[in-house]
């Protein structure tokens, strides 16, 4: 029911590209241009400055973007509540999840959800925790799931699931490391870690700080990688130790390909959290959170 022109404008404004908006909305580029021209004619103002192949928002465009985000959110909530009067769950829900959650937690949950609510158009993007929070603030997603320990004041965090980080090495690794080490042994061990902005690295560094380990530059980090899957494959071919979620190496541990190295007195517990914009709780996001909560014990 919502004005599709506003959706088009929002996509162009977020991507700063007519081409990317066309790809995102599955609409031809001439149609995208036509919708923007209609909005500019209606409001009698330019919404974008065009300099060659680059575009940027004008003051008018910034104002329209601010209001269009609220209007489109209200339309989404209206559609949800009207259908709910007939006990129907219909609408669009855009999720964002940090890498570990997207790869190792959500797939079975998403399968169950779309089976129960086939009329909900569900989509998922993934990245690290900071990227998911940014997507939420930019209204590119409705609900996020993150694994970090840092909190932004304009976002609301709701606990979802407990998780644990572990140190692992490949069983065929030539790395001489015992099954138990002390935190002060870490500088002597080559490591592969998740990248900056990831919740996994946040938790590892916070755990080190709790043990008065402040000289992070003394760590022998061979690589920072952008996904847990990359770390697992890296460990198969390199003699080093990785810090990953226990969930991400469950199959490897059962198969005997990896072994856990206990870091004495340094547990690395964390929570997976739902994250929403403050004041925008409700609708399909809340329905998904309730559904996930009921199924969390099986994850």
Gyration radius (Cα) of the chain, Å: 23
Contact 235, 258 (CB under 8 A): yes
Least confident of 122-126, 186-190, 213-217: 213-217
Percent of the chain with pLDDT strictly greater than 70: 96
The token duo for 228 is: 């847990």
**How confident is residue 1, by pLDDT bands cut at 50, 70 and 90?**
very low
Contact 211, 183 (CB under 8 A): yes
18-23-24-29 Cα dihedral, nearest 10 degrees: 40
Q: What was the pLDDT predicted at 86?
A: 63
Q: Of 21-30, 49-58, 159-168, 277-286, where does the model show the most confidence?
A: 159-168
Contact 94, 126 (CB under 8 A): no
**How confident is residue 200, by pLDDT bands cut at 50, 70 and 90?**
very high
Strand partners, 168: 242, 260
Find the mean pLDDT for residues 108-132: 91
């Amino acid at each position: 029911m919502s004005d599709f022109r506003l959706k088009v404008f929002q996509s162009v404004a977020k991507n700063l590209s007519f081409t990317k908006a066309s790809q995102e909305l599955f609409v031809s580029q001439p149609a995208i241009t036509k919708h923007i021209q209609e909005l500019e004619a209606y409001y009698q103002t330019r919404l974008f400055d065009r300099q060659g192949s680059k575009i940027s928002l004008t003051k008018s465009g910034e104002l329209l973007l601010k209001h269009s985000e609220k209007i489109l959110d209200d339309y989404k909530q209206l559609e949800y509540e009207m259908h709910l009067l007939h006990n129907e769950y219909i609408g669009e829900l855009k999720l964002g999840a940090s890498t570990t959650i997207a790869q190792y937690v959500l797939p079975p949950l998403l399968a169950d959800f779309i089976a129960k609510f086939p009329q909900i158009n569900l989509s998922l993007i993934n990245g690290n925790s900071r990227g998911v929070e940014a997507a939420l603030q930019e209204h590119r997603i409705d609900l996020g799931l993150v694994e970090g320990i840092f909190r932004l004041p304009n976002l609301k965090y709701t606990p979802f699931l407990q998780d644990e980080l572990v140190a692992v090495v490949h069983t065929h690794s030539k790395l001489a490391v015992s099954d138990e080490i002390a935190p002060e042994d870490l500088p002597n061990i080559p490591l592969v870690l998740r990248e900056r902005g990831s919740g996994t690295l946040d938790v590892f560094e916070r755990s080190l700080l709790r043990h008065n380990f402040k000289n992070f530059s003394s760590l022998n980090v061979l690589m920072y990688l952008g996904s847990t899957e990359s770390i697992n494959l890296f460990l198969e071919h390199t003699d080093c130790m990785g810090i990953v979620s226990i969930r991400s190496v469950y199959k490897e541990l059962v198969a005997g390909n990896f072994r856990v190295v206990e870091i004495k007195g340094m547990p690395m517990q964390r929570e997976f959290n739902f994250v929403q914009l403050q004041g925008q709780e409700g609708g399909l996001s809340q329905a998904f959170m309730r559904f996930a909560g009921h199924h969390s014990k099986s994850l």
